[in-house]
Amino acid sequence: MGKHRAPDMKSPTHPWLRKVTAGVSILILIATSLGGGAVYAINGLGKNIVALDTSDLNIQDRPATVVQTDTSATNILIMGSDSRAGTNGSYGNVDGARSDTTLLVHVYQGREAATVVSIPRDSFVEIAGCKMLNGENSLPYKTKFNAAFSIGGPVCAVKSVEKLTKVRINNFVVVDFEAFKKVVDAIGGVEVCLTSPAYDPVIPGQGGSGLDLPAGYSTISGEQALAFVRARESLGDGSDLSRITRQQEFIGSMIRGMTDKGLLTNPGMIYRVLSAVTSSITTNSEFASIAALQDFALSLGSLKPSKINFVTTPYEMVGKGNVGWTSEADELWTAIRMDQPWPLVTPSPSSTPANSTSTPSVPVVAPSASATPSASSTSTEGTAAAATCTKGNNRVKK
């Protein structure tokens, strides 16, 4: 059972998840400059946001947090729900919902840099005791992490993350299959690059995502994008850990694509994305309004893709497909609590003093075409996959 540092996360992933933290908010930022009628229309979208009762979080002592301002460090938990509700069985008839993707986003003091931590759904941990969806109470017990969402919804997942990491979650956002597709379509698709064809057919009773893409560059719509980030058995090593890498890569590609398409100068696209996002967002009451999202967006005005660091919770396999967190995971959670960069860096004489309020310099890894997944982090700038493709002729460089 080998130990692993967080695998190198370099490009496509749960597309809009990262978008909801830095992107979704940036979208709302533009609302202040669109003019009366457009602003009224955008403000009307707020009625679609679903706010959850979070009183169960206060049953236990919660981790401390700094006073929240527009420059303070803050933590957001983004959960991708695998609920099939409203899909008419298009993705299988699976009851309930689990947190298929969970990202803990730490935005550093000054809000010019961020670290995004993927929490493997198969992490074998002790989840918190929670108020269950049927109104009864559960006791803490060891199981796979994504069971928390299934037992008590997003509030139970938040409660479990706080119990396990001692990191205070200031806000949370839940997105589902339909929201994911709508956002990708709203921005005109996302470009991905494959070094070989990808085929993951749907096999009744067994699974499959329906993915069917050629080698090279493809601009994919929401439906194929969902298949791309969901595919597991037919791609990579078939594990959720392999899928995490692909999901993170997709996020990077989406962020760059939105920048290239001039999203912030395209009112029509902005409205489409906002409409898609707000129609499917579930969050805490403090975050459940256009005004709150707009304020958050304004606070992220200096956050650039190159300053967003993607990592995975350091782990080791503990048998039967379970993921165990290593002692390095404890160091990661401590760094987040202390608002320190990750991976930890050795201070030099020119380093910023510990008591400084300046934004930390977040180390990022710039992947190359020959890079292999070994580092614990990556930025959204450039991807190894993109470097192996030849644009225009859909062929792969030898």
CB-CB neighbours of 52 under 10 Å: 17
**Measured over all CA atoms, what is the biggest interatomic distance in the chain, rounded to whole angstroms?**
61
Average pLDDT over residues 110-125: 94
Lowest mean pLDDT among 26-30, 54-58, 62-66, 207-211: 26-30
Output the six-digit token pair for 259. Answer: 């920048």
User: Which has the closest alpha carbon to 267: 45, 33, 44, 48?
Assistant: 33
Q: Which helix (H) or strand (E) holds 147?
A: helix 147-165
Output the six-digit token pair for 266. Answer: 């395209």
Q: Which whole-number Å values give the CA distances from 79 to 118, 132, 233, 386, in the listed order?
A: 10, 18, 22, 27
pTM: 0.73
Q: Residue 8 has what DSSP assignment?
A: P
Residue 116 and residue 377 in contact, taking contact as beta carbons nearer than 8 Å: no
CATH number of 3-345+357-396: 3.40.630.190
Say if strands 211-213 and 3-4 run parallel, antiparallel, or are unpaired: unpaired
Q: Residue 20 has what DSSP assignment?
A: I
User: Which has the closest alpha carbon to 147: 134, 164, 128, 165?
Assistant: 128
Output the six-digit token pair for 47. Answer: 């009625």
Average pLDDT over residues 51-74: 92
Output the six-digit token pair for 186. Answer: 């709203």
* Domain parsing of the chain, residue ranges: 3-345+357-396
Predicted local distance difference test score (pLDDT) of residue 112: 93
Q: Which helix (H) or strand (E) holds 198?
A: strand 198-200
Output the six-digit token pair for 83. Answer: 């609920």
Predicted local distance difference test score (pLDDT) of residue 364: 31
Query: Rounded to the nearest 5 degrees, what angle is found at the Cα of 110, between the Cα atoms of 108 and 111?
Result: 60
Q: How many angstroms separate the CA atoms of 246 and 234, rounded?
A: 13
Residue that wins the pLDDT comparison between 63 and 228: 63
Q: How many angstroms separate the CA atoms of 320 and 369, rounded?
A: 33
Q: Residue 348 has what DSSP assignment?
A: -
Average pLDDT over residues 179-203: 86
Rg over alpha carbons for the chain, rounded to the nearest Å, is 20
Average pLDDT over residues 54-77: 93
Output the six-digit token pair for 243. Answer: 């899928």
- For 12-58, how does the pLDDT look when each residue is reduced to its tens digit (9 = 90+)? 444 444 444 444 444 444 433 344 455 556 667 777 788 999 999 98
Q: Is 292 helix (H, G, I), strand (E, B) or coil?
A: helix
Model confidence at 363: pLDDT above 50: no
Q: How many angstroms separate the CA atoms of 373 and 396, rounded?
A: 20
Model confidence at 260: pLDDT above 90: no
In whole numbers, what is the pLDDT of the chain averaged over residues?
74
Say if strands 190-194 and 323-325 run parallel, antiparallel, or are unpaired: unpaired
Q: How many angstroms separate the CA atoms of 218 and 358, rounded?
A: 40
